[in-house]
């Protein structure tokens, strides 16, 4: 159906008649002084042609004005209603890019990969399922920075997550700064729910804000934090002197991560392998379900350029005809 964005502009349609009535036209002085009592002697055929020449531009001018008013009313073609899923939740992901995330203690598709690659693989699927949530992405290392502002565009969030690289934000881990940045970006948003999912494999070793202090600030601003500690408990290292078992997650500060989650009403999860990490994100889907509030929008296609083009075409015809008839009259 056709919809007019500014329908009241139709009131401007009689404006030329109003101007004509308020400001009556006057004959030029040289024409007013000329009086020919025997006008019929000049030939009635030419007079008729001149009269018609004055009528056609007037008709074209009226049509041009109508089309111009129509264009100003902004006609739009309204498409069929399309349902949008909106949950009313802002969900931010904070991913650790510190140097320790390069430990290859995860397996994806039968090959050993580093922790960040495993995180990208699982988190991308999680993001793709969050229809209706506004998603944002924070990357942190020695510094924390916002990679993706809150958006409904899940494809962009996935792309920017997959483009992240180890050490991009520094070699250390600023957990407190990452939480503080999430609070700063989320506290002014008028949403029903604010959630931060923080994934790290270490302890806070950098930054200006202490993790627990940042957690208190998050709780004051109603930001719920789910923390994920990533990394295997056991890994076999082969060397020239033989094989030995090591704990690649010895630096993981589980105590602090649990405290952060408890202070904000969230939960702490431990991901020792890809399967556990995938289960955690599936559990997060259950803990923070996508509740769809039915909202609809109708796509709009602007049509104003069509009547505007017609009005310009009529105006061009009027200009050309005036030039031609002036030449004919002088001849």
Instruction: Output Rg (C-alpha) for the chain, integer angstroms.
Output: 36
Assigned token pair, 33: 């002084």
Fold observed for domain 83-294:
Rossmann fold (3.40.50)
Q: Which residues in the chain are classed under CATH 3.40.50.410? A: 83-294
* Whether pLDDT at 42 is above 80: no
Which DSSP helix (H) or strand (E) runs through 4?
Answer: strand 2-4
Report how far residue 252's alpha carbon sits from residue 232's, in angstroms, rounded to the nearest whole number: 10
pTM: 0.62
Question: Tens digits of per-residue pLDDT, 184-197?
Answer: 998 877 777 889 99
Check the CA dihedral 266-270-274-279 and report its sign. negative
Check the CA dihedral 168-172-173-176 and report its sign. negative
* Whether pLDDT at 165 is above 50: yes
Residue 39's pLDDT is 45
Residue 177's pLDDT is 95
Mean pLDDT of 2-15: 88
Mean pLDDT of 103-130: 88
Residue 162's pLDDT is 94
Check the CA dihedral 168-170-175-181 and report its sign. negative
* Whether pLDDT at 34 is above 50: no
> Exposed (0-12), middle (13-18) or buried (19+): which is 238, by Cβ within 10 Å?
exposed
Looking at residue 142, the DSSP 8-state letter turns out to be S
Question: Tens digits of per-residue pLDDT, 273-324?
Answer: 888 898 998 888 888 876 555 556 677 888 888 989 998 988 888 787 776 6
Report how far residue 170's alpha carbon sits from residue 157's, in angstroms, rounded to the nearest whole number: 21
Integer CA distances (angstroms), 26 to 23, 34, 56, 85, 169, in order? 9, 14, 21, 65, 78
Residue 26's pLDDT is 58
How high does pLDDT run on average in the chain? 81
Question: Tens digits of per-residue pLDDT, 192-250?
Answer: 788 999 999 888 998 899 999 999 999 999 999 999 999 887 666 665 565 656 566 77
The 10 Å Cβ neighbour count of residue 8 is 8
State how beta strands 106-108 and 111-113 pair. Answer: antiparallel
Residue 93's pLDDT is 95
Mean pLDDT of 150-177: 91
């Amino acid at each position: 159906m056709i919809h007019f964005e500014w329908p009241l502009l139709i009131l401007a349609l009689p404006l030329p008649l109003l101007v004509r009535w308020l400001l009556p036209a006057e004959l030029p002085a040289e024409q007013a002084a000329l009086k020919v009592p025997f006008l019929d002697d000049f030939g009635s055929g030419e007079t008729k042609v001149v009269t018609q020449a004055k009528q056609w531009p007037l008709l074209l001018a009226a049509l041009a004005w109508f089309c111009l008013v129509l264009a100003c009313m902004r006609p739009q073609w309204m498409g069929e209603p399309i349902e949008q899923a909106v949950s009313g939740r802002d969900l931010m992901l904070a991913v650790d890019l510190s140097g320790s995330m390069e430990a290859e203690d995860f397996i994806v598709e039968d090959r050993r990969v580093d922790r960040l690659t495993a995180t990208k693989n699982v988190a991308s699927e999680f993001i793709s399922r969050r229809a209706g949530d506004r998603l944002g992405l924070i990357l942190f290392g020695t510094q924390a920075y916002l990679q993706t502002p809150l958006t409904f565009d899940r494809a962009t969030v996935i792309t920017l997550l997959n483009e992240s690289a180890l050490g991009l934000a520094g070699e250390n881990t600023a957990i407190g700064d990452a939480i503080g940045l999430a609070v700063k970006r989320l506290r002014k948003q008028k949403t029903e729910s604010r959630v931060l999912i923080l994934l790290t494999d270490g302890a806070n070793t950098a930054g200006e804000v202490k993790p627990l202090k940042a957690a208190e600030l998050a709780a004051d601003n109603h930001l719920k934090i789910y923390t994920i500690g990533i990394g295997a408990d056991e890994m076999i290292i082969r060397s020239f002197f033989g094989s030995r078992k090591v704990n690649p997650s010895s630096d993981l500060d589980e105590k602090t991560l649990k405290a952060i989650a408890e202070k904000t009403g969230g939960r702490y999860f431990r991901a020792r392998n890809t399967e556990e990490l995938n289960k955690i994100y599936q559990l997060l889907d259950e803990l923070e379900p996508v509740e769809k509030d039915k909202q609809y929008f109708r796509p709009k296609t602007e049509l104003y350029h069509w009547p505007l083009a017609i009005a310009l075409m009529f105006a061009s015809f009027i200009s050309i005809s005036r030039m031609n008839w002036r030449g004919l009259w002088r001849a």
